[in-house]
């Protein structure tokens, strides 16, 4: 059976579906990935911009870089792949999206069960106390704002290198994967841990695990690989109206 037909059959049969997304999910919306051609980590060094030490050393530089990314993301729109995942839910499928992306595009497309493993670029949190808030202002101040509670600096609410994932998000992701019949792994090189553990975990737990990527990772964690851009592939997997579980 052709891979696409096979995966459509699994989608039709699945009681619960988890979708793990990476930067490639947002590529067709015009948000740069990290490691591919044009990837952010080809131009910038993560240790200069995406660590607590970098922010401690030069908060203005880090803040400016995140402001630039916020501008790119604010100008981007969810694409047909994001919309297909949201529509799946509306058709009655139990879909949980576990994303490594910080851009909020899944939520903007209408997905309601989204776990943000690496935080959100729209969240600001204090380096010194527990204060945090969502702030969707596109053009934030040129310097990091100051915490209204303690006067500390506010930083982007994303997970940086060397930091732990938010524990509740990680627990909820493992649970979703373990309870799923089908796990779709979309647009990730699978090189960043612990997110990369989720595909093998799904396999161990008995889920069908499918990769969707124009440049497949070559990892052996998958039961099927759909080679191509997710904006084209996901709409083709959408169950016919009323046929979802
Ligand atoms: P990468 O930049 O490592 O990988 C992007 C993947 O998306 C590659 O496998 C591409 O082939 C694929 N891709 C490109 N266009 C695509 C499309 N249209 N449809 C589907 N796939 C496509 O991004 P991640 O694996 O998400 O972490 O990177 C993981 C983490 O590394 C990020 O969350 C970030 C980064 O450092 C933190 O900031 C903590």
Each residue of 22-71: pLDDT tens digit? 999 999 999 999 998 889 999 999 999 999 999 999 999 999 999 999 99
Residue with tokens 């053009």: 139
pLDDT at 13 over 90: yes
- Residue of 157, 188, 217 to mutate, ligand 1, most atoms within 8 A of C-beta: 188
Burial of 136 (0-12, 13-18, 19+ CB in 10 A): exposed
Which pLDDT does position 139 carry in this prediction? 67
Q: What is the mean pLDDT of the chain?
A: 94
What integer pLDDT is reported at residue 53 of this predicted model?
Answer: 97
Residue 154 has pLDDT above 80, yes or no: yes
Evaluate the CA torsion angle 125, 59, 32, 42 in order and state its sign: negative
Mean pLDDT of 140-144: 87
**CA gap 243, 236 in Å, rounded:** 14
* Exposed/middle/buried for residue 8 (C-beta within 10 Å: 0-12, 13-18, 19+): middle
For a substitution probing ligand 1, which of 189, 212, 217, 229 has the most ligand atoms within 8 Å of its CB?
189
Q: Calculate how far, in angstroms, residue 96's C-alpha sits from the geometric centre of ligand 1.
A: 19
Query: Rounded to two decimals, what is the model's pTM?
Result: 0.96
| 209 strand-pairing partners | 183
CA of 241 to the centre of ligand 1 (A): 31
pLDDT at 238: 87
Active-site annotation holds for 118: yes
Q: Cα(72)–Cα(31) distance, rounded to whole angstroms?
A: 7
């Amino acid at each position: 059976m052709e891979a696409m037909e096979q995966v459509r059959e699994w989608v039709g049969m699945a009681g619960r579906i988890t979708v793990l997304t990476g930067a490639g999910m947002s590529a067709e919306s015009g948000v740069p990935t990290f490691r591919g051609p044009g990837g952010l980590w080809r131009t910038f060094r993560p240790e200069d911009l995406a660590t607590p030490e970098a922010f401690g050393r030069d908060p203005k530089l880090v803040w400016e870089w995140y402001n630039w990314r916020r501008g790119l993301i604010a100008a981007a729109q969810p694409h047909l792949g994001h919309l297909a995942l949201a529509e799946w839910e509306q058709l009655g499928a139990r879909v949980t999206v576990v994303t490594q992306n910080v851009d909020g595009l899944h939520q903007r497309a209408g997905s309601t069960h989204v776990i943000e493993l690496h935080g959100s670029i729209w969240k600001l949190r204090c380096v010194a106390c527990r204060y945090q808030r969502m702030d969707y202002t596109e053009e934030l101040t040129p310097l990091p704002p100051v915490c209204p509670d303690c006067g500390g600096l506010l930083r982007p609410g994303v997970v940086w290198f060397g930091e732990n994932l938010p524990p509740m998000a990680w627990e909820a992701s493992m649970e979703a994967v373990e309870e799923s019949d089908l796990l779709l792994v979309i647009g990730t090189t699978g090189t960043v841990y612990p997110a990369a553990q989720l595909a093998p975990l799904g396999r161990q737990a008995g889920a069908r695990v499918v990769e969707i990527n124009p440049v497949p990772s070559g990892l052996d964690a998958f039961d099927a690989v759909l080679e191509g851009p997710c904006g084209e592939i996901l709409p083709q997997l959408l169950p016919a109206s009323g046929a979802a579980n």
